[in-house]
Each structure stands twice: as C-alpha cells, then as structure tokens.
C-alpha cells in the first residue's frame, strides 16, 4: 500500500497506557501510528458494541501529528483516550446521551479534558452513557444501547458504559467516566477493567454536565492501576472555575505506587454489611480470594462495622434526585437544547420541550427530586437524607481509624442481560448498593478486576472494590497496585475482541 506503511514493532492497542506512552516517547511507534491503530480498531470493532457516540478522527490525527512534530510534549504525549459524552469540549457535540442536548456544542472544554490534552493526550471520541448519567446499564441512552465486550447480550454497566466497554474492548488506551453513585466502578467491574472514582473535589467539575453536584466526580478507566495513577495525577488539582475543587497538594501518584508503606502491616477492612449472602457467591468468593492475596503479602484483615450501610440507597436517591431536579431545570427549550415545535404558551413550551427531550428515567428522577424538595416534604426527605449522609460518613470515619482501606465487592453480581432490569427501576437502583455510600461520603474508591463468574457458558469479569479515606488516593492506589502485581485478572481479554 502506502510507502509509509510498516509493520509496527508492537500493537499499541494491546498495551497498557504507560507502555503506549513509552513506546511513543521512545519512538518505537509514532503518535500518529498509535492513534491510527486505535481509530482503525474502533472502525472494525465498535460496530459490535457501540461504545462511541462520535469520534474525531481528523482532530485526533492532527493532535498526534503535533506530538510527533515535537510541538506537544507532556506525560501523556500521543496517548489516545476516549471521554464520556457528559464532558464538554469546544469541539464536537456534548449530548449527555440525551435528545435534549442532541445538537449541543459547548463553547468551552472541561478542565479535566483540557489538562489531559495539555499533557499531550489525543482524544479519540466521546462514549455512550445513560442519559444525564442516570442509570446503571447504559440502556437509558437516547442514542443506542452499548454492549458488554465479554458478552454482547449483556449490559456494560452504567452510566459510563461506553467508556468502560471501550476500555474493555481495547478501543482506547484509557477513558474518562464520571461517578455519581458508582457510574465508573460498576461498569469497570462489568467490563473487567480498572475504574477509579477519586475523592470529591480532587478533579475539577468545570465542564462536567451536572447530574448531582455534591456527588459527581470525574475518574479514569484503565487497564492497570499504574495507568489510573498517571491519569489522575494529570487531572487532579484546584481549578479557580470550580470552587468545590480542593486546594490540596497533588502528590506524584505514579511515583507513590513504588513507595513502601509506613512499615506497618497493611490493615484491610472488611464490613459484614458489604458481604451480603444476597450477593452472587462468586462475587463474595472474589473478595475472599483478594483478601487471601493481601494476607499472603503480610496484610491483616480487620472487621469493621458500617451500621448505616443499608440506608445508602434511599439516601442517595433523595440527595441525587433533589440536586438533579434543580440541575436539569435549565433544559427548558428557551435558551438552548431541544425546543418543541408546537407550544401554545410559555408553560406549554416548558412542558412539551421537557416531555419530548427527556427519557423516562430522567423524568422519573426529576419528579422524585422535585417531590423531595417540596414544602411539606423537605424536612422528611431531603433534610433527613442529609442527616443520614452524615451518619454514613461517620461509619467510614470510624472504619478508617481501624484500617487503611476497605475491601468489598463493587457489584452484587456480574453484568446482567440487556433488558433484564430496565422495567424494574428498584432492581436497577440496587445495583449501586456497594458504590453509592462512597459518593455520599465523598471518598476515593477503585474497582479492580478481581476474578470471574461463570454464568452458564459465559465467563464474566467480577470486580472488587477498595475504598480509601478522603484524599487518600496515594495509599489506595499503592494497595490496588500491590494487588495487580500479584494477580493476572487485569490481563484477561474477552474472546470476542482479541
């Protein structure tokens, strides 16, 4: 074919992010070649899974060429990434998986994305999601359903299902998701990849279209904890445009992975409230085996009590929906976004635009949240939820006085079948039982590939979750990295995409 065509010394789509970066930095491959390899793989494989809402091949190739020309340097020079369609960019569209924003083009770029690009990352495209990040299966996308790379008849999880599936199918070297109640960790578990939800305030939310402002946090999907540490380090830090972003120093997370601990044996916290016998036994087994890995490395298991765990789901669904009902009020057809064609008057314009623009799950949550904030109900619902939220945070505070990290499942079981829960919102909400409390408490947590569940003829990944104290990412990632150094789960690939 073309003159420049050559056999790559390596396939960048089958490396970790760090390896890809090093290969580009070492000129074993060019950034253009790496980007092209991913774009070609997306073209070939994504039609089976529908991870991407849109791609930016031309822009990505230009970004890569800039890297190769030495005009862009940085810790991520030439690394191709995918971002969730809830992150605004001043190129392309930002639809949030909704008809409401079908043609929305933001005139600004999310701080997290801007920092990645300034570090040299190449943005391949935007990934599918549950509408406005509301859902646990990506079935609530207004565009299409995304499929799990391990079994296309199953969901990839949600709401960041597109990014998780793209990572699981090696359609990017790393991806961004957002996590409001588990939307990074749950799909990471379902797709067999690493998903990190940082401490609330660790990464700026500027340019992240809000679902629940006090819970939302951006985080990476990667193959390895090392890669997650690298991306976190680039994105973390105070942003003058987000007053809730923390003005706390950003440690070198990557270097921190190699640091020895404090000399004391690791204390791994286990709470009985997180190891329900309602779980798929293969999930509980993965957690037990992970504990065994840590024990062999000298860690001790500490039993902790988290008595308010069971109130997490109702509390979360009051706080998150209350905030969402307010955050989504701006989508009214007046200033931008979908507007109905047949309004009789102003109120009718509001009603029809919103009725046409939003999907059923979004409407359900707006109604729940509006109710929770209404006079006469505020004290009983929203205010009480805030109080319980403090109790849940108290559970974690007490636990971290006894242990370094908590070990628990990410989900109750492996990925479920498309369509299985879509008509049963409560069953769907219960997916988040092990993840929401972390958001209510504002803590960092990571889901790691921790084993497999055999479901009939299908082998599906299972995630384990490690939870750390606020701004304790350094220790959290170090312990997670330790696990990956002694396990091979993260190297497994679904047969369908190899």
Partner 1 sequence: MTASTDSSALDLPPGLRARLMVGLEVHVELATRSKMFTSAPNVAHPDNFDAGPNTLCDPVVVGMPGVLPVINQRAVEMSIRVGLALGCRIARFTKWDRKSYYYPDLPKNYQISQYDLPLCFDGALDIPTSEELDAPTKRIRIIRAHLEEDAGKLLHEAPGGVPIDHSIVDLNRAGTPLLEIVTFPDLESPAEVVMFAQTLRHICRHLGVTEGIMQKGHMRFEPNINVILEKDGQVFKTPIVEIKNLNSFKALHDSVAYEYHRQVEDWLQTGKVMDKRAKTTRGWDDVRCETTLQRHKEDADEYRYFPDPDLVPLVIEDRWIEELVAAMPALPRAREQRYVKELGLGLTEARILLDDPRLTTFFEEVLAAGVEPRRATALLLNNGAKRANERNCGVPQLGITPAQIKQIVALADAGKIGSVAVDTLFGLCCDPAPGSQSIDEPRTSASGASGINLPSGSAPGSAGGYSGSGGYAPSQNLEDVARAHGLIQVSDTAALEKFVAEVLADPRNTKALADLQAGKEKALGALLGQVMKLSKGQANPQVVSQIIKQKLQG
Of 389, 413, 418, 407, which Cα lies nearest the Cα of 448?
Answer: 407
Q: Out of 59, 256, 289, 336, point to the residue binding partner 1 (CB under 8 A).
A: 336
Q: Please tell me which residue in 98, 159, 160, 325 is annotated as part of the active site.
A: 159
The nearer residue to partner 1, 328 or 482, going by C-beta atoms, is 328
50 in catalytic set = no
CA distance 308 to 429: 18
Strands 405-409 and 458-467: antiparallel
Least distance in angstroms from the C-beta of 329 to partner 1? 4
What is the Cα Rg of the chain in Å? 21
Q: Provide the CB-side half-sphere exposure for 496 (13 A, CA).
A: 20
Least distance in angstroms from the C-beta of 96 to partner 1? 7
392 binds partner 1 (CB under 8 A): no
- CA distances 59 to 17, 32, 175, 424, 473, Å, are 20, 11, 17, 41, 33
Question: Which span (44-52, 285-293, 367-375, 399-407) binds partner 1, by CB under 8 A?
Answer: 367-375
The nearer residue to partner 1, 101 or 445, going by C-beta atoms, is 101
Least distance in angstroms from the C-beta of 246 to partner 1? 6
Sign of CA dihedral 26, 226, 42, 456: positive
Q: Out of 139, 323, 361, 395, point to the residue binding partner 1 (CB under 8 A).
A: 323
Residues 241-270 that bind partner 1 (CB under 8 A): 241-247
233 binds partner 1 (CB under 8 A): no
| Continuous segment of H or E residues that includes residue 460 | strand 458-467
Q: Is 364 exposed, middle or buried (0-12, 13-18, 19+ CB in 10 A)?
A: middle
Whether residue 94 contacts residue 209, with contact meaning beta carbons closer than 8 Å, is answered with: yes
The nearer residue to partner 1, 214 or 458, going by C-beta atoms, is 214
CA distance 159 to 486: 30
Residue 83 is given by DSSP the state E
- CA distances 373 to 121, 123, 347, 454, Å, are 42, 39, 21, 44
The nearer residue to partner 1, 393 or 459, going by C-beta atoms, is 393
Least distance in angstroms from the C-beta of 128 to partner 1? 17
Q: Out of 206, 221, 483, 489, point to the residue binding partner 1 (CB under 8 A).
A: 206
Strands 267-271 and 122-127: unpaired
Q: Please tell me which residue in 183, 204, 245, 353 is annotated as part of the active site.
A: 183
The nearer residue to partner 1, 43 or 241, going by C-beta atoms, is 241
421 in catalytic set = no
Question: Which span (75-83, 225-233, 293-301, 332-340) binds partner 1, by CB under 8 A?
Answer: 332-340
The nearer residue to partner 1, 223 or 352, going by C-beta atoms, is 352
238 binds partner 1 (CB under 8 A): yes
Q: Please tell me which residue in 30, 50, 84, 353 is annotated as part of the active site.
A: 84
Residues 341-360 that bind partner 1 (CB under 8 A): 346, 350
Residues 107-136 that bind partner 1 (CB under 8 A): 107-108, 110
Least distance in angstroms from the C-beta of 426 to partner 1? 25
Least distance in angstroms from the C-beta of 211 to partner 1? 11
Whether residue 465 contacts residue 432, with contact meaning beta carbons closer than 8 Å, is answered with: no
CA distance 377 to 383: 9
DSSP notation for 385-436: HHHHHHHHHHHHHHHHTT-SEEEEESSSSSPPBTTSSTT-HHHHHGGGTTTH
Bridge partners of residue 455, in order along the sequence: 458
What strands lie across the sheet with 300-304, from one edge to the other? 52-55, 122-127, 80-84, 174-178, 218-222, 194-197, 445-455, 458-467, 405-409, 267-271, 300-304
375 in catalytic set = no
Least distance in angstroms from the C-beta of 342 to partner 1? 15
Q: Out of 28, 214, 285, 340, point to the residue binding partner 1 (CB under 8 A).
A: 214
Least distance in angstroms from the C-beta of 259 to partner 1? 26
CA distance 387 to 128: 34
Q: Which residues bind partner 1 (CB under 8 A)?
A: 86-88, 94, 96, 101, 104, 106-108, 110, 201, 205-210, 212-214, 238, 240-247, 322-323, 325-326, 329-332, 334-336, 346, 350, 370, 373-375, 378, 382
Active site residues: 84, 159, 183
């Amino acid at each position: 074919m073309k003159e420049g065509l050559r056999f790559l010394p390596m396939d960048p789509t089958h490396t970790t992010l760090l390896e890809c970066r090093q290969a580009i930095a070492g000129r074993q491959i060019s950034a253009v070649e790496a980007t092209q390899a991913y774009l070609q793989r997306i073209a070939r494989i994504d039609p089976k899974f529908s991870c991407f809402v849109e791609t930016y091949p031309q822009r990505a190739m230009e970004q890569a060429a800039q890297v190769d020309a030495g005009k862009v340097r940085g810790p991520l020079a030439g690394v191709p990434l995918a971002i969730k369609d809830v992150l605004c960019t001043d190129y392309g569209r930002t639809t949030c998986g909704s008809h409401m924003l079908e043609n929305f083009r933001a005139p600004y770029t999310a701080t997290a994305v801007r920092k990645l690009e300034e570090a040299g990352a190449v943005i391949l495209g935007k990934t599918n999601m549950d509408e406005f990040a509301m859902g646990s299966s990506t079935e609530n996308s207004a565009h299409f359903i995304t499929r799990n790379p391990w079994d296309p008849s199953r969901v990839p999880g949600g709401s960041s299902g597109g990014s998780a599936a793209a990572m699981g199918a090696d359609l990017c070297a790393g991806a961004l998701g957002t996590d409001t109640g588990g939307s990074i960790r749950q799909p990471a578990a379902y797709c067999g990849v690493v998903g990190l939800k940082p401490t609330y305030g660790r990464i700026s939310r500027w340019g992240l279209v809000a679902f629940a402002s006090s819970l939302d946090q951006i985080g990476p999907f990667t193959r390895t904890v090392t890669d997650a540490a690298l991306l976190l380090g680039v994105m973390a830090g105070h942003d003058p445009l987000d007053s809730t972003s923390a003005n706390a120093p950003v440690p070198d997370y990557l270097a921190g992975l190699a640091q020895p601990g404090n000399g004391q044996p690791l204390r791994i916290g286990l709470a009985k409230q997180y190891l329900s016998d309602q779980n798929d036994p293969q999930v509980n087994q993965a957690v037990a085996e992970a504990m065994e890995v840590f024990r062999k490395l000298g860690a001790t298991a500490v039993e902790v009590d988290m008595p308010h765990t069971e109130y997490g789901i109702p509390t979360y669904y009051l706080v998150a929906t209350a905030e969402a009902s307010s955050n989504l009020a701006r989508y009214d057809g007046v200033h931008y976004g979908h507007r109905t064609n047949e309004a009789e008057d102003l109120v009718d314009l509001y009603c029809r635009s919103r009725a046409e623009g939003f999907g059923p799950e979004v409407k359900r949550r707006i109604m729940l949240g509006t109710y929770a904030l209404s006079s006469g109900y505020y004290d009983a619902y929203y205010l009480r939820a805030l109080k319980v939220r403090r109790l849940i945070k108290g559970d974690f505070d007490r636990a971290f006085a006894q242990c370094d990290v908590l070990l628990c499942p990410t989900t109750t079981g492996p990925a479920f079948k498309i369509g299985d829960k879509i008509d049963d919102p409560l069953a769907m909400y219960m997916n988040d039982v092990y993840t929401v409390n972390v958001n209510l408490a504002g803590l960092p947590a990571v889901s790691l590939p921790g084993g497999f569940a055999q479901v009939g003829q299908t082998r599906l990944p299972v995630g384990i979750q490690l939870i750390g104290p606020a701004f304790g990412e350094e220790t959290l990632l170090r312990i997670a990295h330790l696990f990956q150094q002694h396990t091979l789960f993260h190297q497994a690939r679904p047969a369908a995409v190899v």
